[in-house]
Amino acid sequence: MSIIIKNGRVVTSSEDFTGDIFIESETITAIGKNLPHKAEQMIDASGLLVFPGGIDPHVHLEMPFMGTFSSDNYETGTRAALHGGTTMVIDFILQTQGKSLNSALDEWRGRSDGNTFCDYSFHMAVTDFNEKARGEIRGLVEKEGITSFKVFMAYKGALMIDDRQMIGLMNEVRDCGGIVTVHATNGDMIDYLVAKHRSEGKLSTLYHYLSQPEITESEAAGRFVDMAFYTGVKSYIVHLTCEGALNQVREATMRNQKVNVETCIQYLLLDASLYENDFDGAKWVMSPPLRQRKDQETLWAGIEQGLVQVVGTDHCPFMWEQKLMGEKDFSKIPNGHPAIEHRMELLFSEGVKKGRISLNKFVELTSTNAAKIFGMFPRKGCLGIGADADIVIFDPEKKHAISAETHHMNVDYSAYEGWEVTGKVETVLSRGKIAIENGDLKISKGHGQFIRRST
């Protein structure tokens, strides 16, 4: 099957021109102005933007967490991703403490294999670093193409590792050429504050926020950055939210250290005042919590300064009934919010349309940088000859409102209900196949492939 996309405004992280893209089977084979190629199908993209499919490197699908499972599975989550212009996701495998990394991989494959609409990969979250786990790292990198290893500095008793384990893991991952990614918040400080608030009968949603003050994140980010500097491992901080944590990264640049940083769409757009509305605030109970307006300003500036390279979602949805598990105690509200479908349109509308970022920066943040950092470039993250034809055709002027009534995620509320956005995904190609057209899904479950990544 061949397709030609004609007369679109082709935007990559470095280019911006009106032209054509020719696709044969799964791959882009020609790009240019007035291409003479004859194709079986022609898509007229006049007046529309054409950019690389989004890569969301931070999603949690059907993940066992806090006594339940996130409500989007691989089928519903990757379908919603495509509707929003994301053509590749990286999900997290969680090692069970006391068990091996490979058994966790088998468990995650059991849920995901054959069930995805878009392409996907896994980060391996190492929650119990010991000699056995150390011995499994090289095989994951070299045989499975899983090159990124996540650590949690919080969620003690389930996911958190200590600093001794962290150093051991960093050394091993460095030797294997991989990257260590981190949920950087100080678990002990948070647990202390959670226990204190609960013992004082302070159980409302607001206390989720008050149990994770900025210092809990800046302290852990600084400690992680120091350990990465000491070991020399390639590093990445996930869902960075605040000024204090970003300043730790800024300071590290003064000793010529490079730390990759991801923030998430919610930390750019939403703030902690949402926790003041009684239990309704549970929609935004996530860790780290939403911060203050001054932190949003810091994150937008950090993007401009090149300190923040990726905007993900940390998509981890729960049905309202699941959120109600914490109605009487904030510490029992499952942490996470739904966003996989809306990252691209929200960032375009609030970022590009409002003049905060350029179109090229938009592509960098939503696709190219994640592909580069996580070993998929130039197969993914760009519109280049030989790249997978993961392409979004986007109407930059179409206005619409976000709502749970119309979204495709398996969750019964929207964290952005009623938000008016400018810009809409029109057509999405996933490895050369039209996946979304006029809002309709055109491919079947199982189209998505596991993507082996390199170092």
Binding residues for ligand URP (CB under 6 A): 60, 183, 286-287, 314, 316, 335-336
* Residue (of 5, 67, 88, 74) closest to 39 by Cα position: 5
Strand order in the sheet with 310-312: 54-59, 86-94, 119-125, 148-152, 179-183, 234-237, 260-264, 310-312
Residues at the site binding Zn ion, with contacts judged by CB under 5 A: 183, 314
Angle at 434 between CA 433 and CA 439, to 5 degrees: 155
Q: Which is nearer to Zn ion, 31 or 370 (CB)?
A: 370
Instruction: Specify the 3-state DSSP secondary structure of 99.
Output: coil
- Please report how close the Cβ of residue 146 comes to Zn ion at its closest, in angstroms: 17
Q: How far is the CB of 23 from Zn ion (least distance, A)?
A: 33
When CB distances are held under 5 to 8 angstroms depending on the partner's kind, the choice from Zn ion, ligand URP, none that residue 179 binds is: none
CA distance 270 to 268: 6
Q: How far is the CB of 70 from ligand URP (least distance, A)?
A: 8
Reported as half-sphere exposure (CB side, CA atoms, 13 A), residue 254 has a value of 5
Nearer Cβ to ligand URP (127/368): 127
Smallest separation, CB 208 to ligand URP (Å): 10
Pick one of Zn ion, ligand URP, none as the site partner of residue 218 (Cβ within 5 to 8 A by kind).
Answer: none
Query: Please, which residue, 217 or 364, has the CB nearer to ligand URP?
Result: 217
CB of 364 to ligand URP, least distance (A): 23
In the complex, least distance from residue 218 CB atom to Zn ion, rounded to whole angstroms: 16
User: In terms of Cα–Cα distance, which of 221, 310, 292 is closest to 257?
Assistant: 221
Instruction: Name the residue nearer to Zn ion (CB basis): 183 or 361.
Output: 183
Q: Across the chain, how many H-helices and E-strands are there?
A: 14, 19
Binding partner of residue 411 among ligand URP, Zn ion, none, CB under 5 to 8 Å per kind? none
Q: Which residue has the tokens 């050429």?
A: 177
Nearer to Zn ion, 314 or 388 (CB): 314
CA distance 179 to 196: 36
CB-nearer residue toward ligand URP: 168 or 336? 336
Tell me the closest approach of the beta carbon of residue 264 to Zn ion, in angstroms.
9
Q: Which of Zn ion, ligand URP, none does residue 286 bind (CB under 5 to 8 Å by kind)?
A: ligand URP
**In terms of DSSP H, where are the helices of 5-141?**
74-83, 101-112, 131-139
Q: How far is the CB of 18 from ligand URP (least distance, A)?
A: 40
- What's the min distance (Å) between Cβ of 334 and ligand URP? 8
Strands 68-69 and 86-94: unpaired
Query: For Zn ion, which is the closer residue by CB, 237 or 387?
Result: 237
Smallest separation, CB 178 to ligand URP (Å): 19
335 binds, among ligand URP, Zn ion, none (CB under 5 to 8 A by kind): ligand URP
| Alpha carbons 318 and 417: distance in angstroms, whole number | 16
Nearer to ligand URP, 60 or 342 (CB): 60
Cβ closest to Zn ion, residue 151 vs residue 347:
151
Nearer to ligand URP, 12 or 71 (CB): 71
Task: Give me the residue whose beta carbon is nearest to ligand URP.
Answer: 335
Cβ contact 58:72 at 8 Å:
no
Q: Which residues of 173-207 are buried (b: 16+ CB within 10 A; e: fewer)?
A: bbebebbbbbbbbbbebbbebbeebeeeeebbbbb
Query: Which helix (DSSP H) or strand (DSSP E) does residue 279 occupy?
Result: none
Q: What is the chain's percent helix, strand, coil content, to nearest 5? A: 35, 25, 40
Longest Cα separation, the chain: 73
Q: What is the C-alpha separation between 108 and 346, in angstroms, rounded?
A: 30
Q: Which does residue 336 bind out of Zn ion, ligand URP, none, counting CB within 5 to 8 angstroms by kind?
A: ligand URP
